[in-house]
Amino acid sequence: MQVVSIINHKGGVGKTTLTANLGAGLAARGRRVLLLDLDSQASLTVSFFTPPEWAEQLLPERTIKHWFDGLDDGTALESPGGLVATPRRVREKLSRSPGRLDLIAAHRDLSDMDTILAAQLMSAPERFVDLHSRLRAGLEHPAFAEYDVALIDCAPNFGLIARNAVAASDLLLIPTKPDYLSTNGIDSLGLKIREFVDEYNARSLEQITRPPASVVFTMVQLHDDQPIEAQRAVMSRIEAGGVAPLSTTIRDSKAVYGPAPEYGVPVILGGTGRALTRELRDLVSEVSAQIDGTEGMAA
């Protein structure tokens, strides 16, 4: 299984929208996809399940928090597959595809848990690897061997849980709006990721590789099918910098992206033929190629 984290310490840059569409798009192409929602705001979870479904069927015992709790007391690792839920509306849409889309839901207390784990690390720095390798170890469980790809939707921070995602990942996608303030943090995020991987490897016998990272431009404003001048300037600057962007970009369309989560079916599985859907499919192709590339590297 290849693990891809969708990560940016900024909020509102399109992480969750990208995760949902990429997951659904890969599943429509026959891949078996597992989504992990690491954000206590649970936007990804409620893009596939209704809020009552989340509250009644998932929150009590099937969330990513239960996974972390279980790793503390040794229970979850026996059956982490039990945390997985299959969203009904997407399953119906995908009924003719051999692919599948499953999800491990978020929990409201995830951000508190992040703080608690950070406090544990402060008081016991020798537990660095233990505390940062929980997702990595968990995803290696045989229960997940049936998946081709795991997509991890991170919270808008670079806390201990997001670092767990980096340690588990083969590939990182960094969605960003092409405006000055949004792109401003990308270099510092890249630096923090590098520092984290270096520290992990300095403390661990088992070394991890720093996952290759790509920027994904989201909410791109088009005029005559080209990004508007102000955005194009920012995009060129990123292209010249340290983290290469994907060549496919996601256009700005509040009217299309805004309502989709409420229907429980990502935009990519909706109407065909629209330029907007084509662009999402191109994005899936580009990420697919990257996933296959990292697999080749690992083999």
Ligand X SMILES: Nc1ncnc2c1ncn2[C@@H]1O[C@H](COP(=O)(O)OP(=O)(O)O)[C@@H](O)[C@H]1O
Q: Which of 11, 30, 125, 242 binds ligand X (CB under 6 A)?
A: 11
Between 96 and 254, CB nearer to ligand X: 254
CB of 266 to ligand X, least distance (A): 11
Mind giving me the DSSP string for 58-93? ITTT-BHHHHHHHHHHT-GGG-GGGG-B--HHHHHH
Rounded Cα–Cα distance for residues 131 and 129 (Å): 5
Q: Choose the stretch contacting ligand X; rule: CB under 6 A; options: 29-37, 105-113, 228-236, 248-256.
A: 248-256
CA distance 155 to 110: 9
Which residues, in sequence order, are CB contacts of 204 under 8 Å at separation 6+?
129, 133
Which one among 14, 211, 245, 266 touches ligand X, defined by CB under 6 A? 14
Q: Which does 58 bind (CB under 5 to 8 A by kind): ligand X, Mg ion, none?
A: none
Decide: 129 and 101 in contact? Cβ < 8 Å: no
Q: Which of 247, 235, 256 is nearest to 282 (CA)?
A: 247
Question: How far apart (Å, rounded) are the C-alpha atoms in residues 144 and 136?
Answer: 12
- Candidates 60-68, 122-130, 138-146, 245-253 — which segment interacts with ligand X by CB under 6 A? 245-253
Instruction: Tell whether residue 254 is a contact of ligand X (CB under 6 A).
Output: yes
Which secondary-structure segment (H or E) carries 104? Answer: strand 100-104
Residue 16 binds ligand X, judged by CB under 6 A:
yes
Binding-residue pattern over the window 192 to 221 for ligand X, x denoting contact by CB under 6 A:
--------------------------xx--
Task: Return the closest-CA partner of residue 127 out of 22, 200, 38, 70.
Answer: 200
Under the criterion CB under 6 A, does residue 252 sit at the interface with ligand X? yes
Sign of CA dihedral 272, 278, 280, 285: positive
- Footprint of Mg ion (CB under 5 A): 15-16, 43
Stretch that binds ligand X, among 13-21, 62-70, 107-115, 141-149 (CB under 6 A): 13-21
CB of 251 to ligand X, least distance (A): 6
Contact mark string toward ligand X, 46..85, x via CB under 6 A: ----------------------------------------
Out of 30, 51, 98, 258, which residue is the one contacting ligand X (CB under 6 A)? 258
With CA atoms as reference, report the closest residue to 238 among 221, 223, 218: 218
Residues 16, 22, 27, CA angle at the centre, nearest 5°?
Answer: 130
Q: Which is nearer to ligand X, 81 or 156 (CB)?
A: 156
Positions that interact with ligand X (CB under 6 A): 11-17, 43, 156, 218-219, 250, 252-254, 257-258
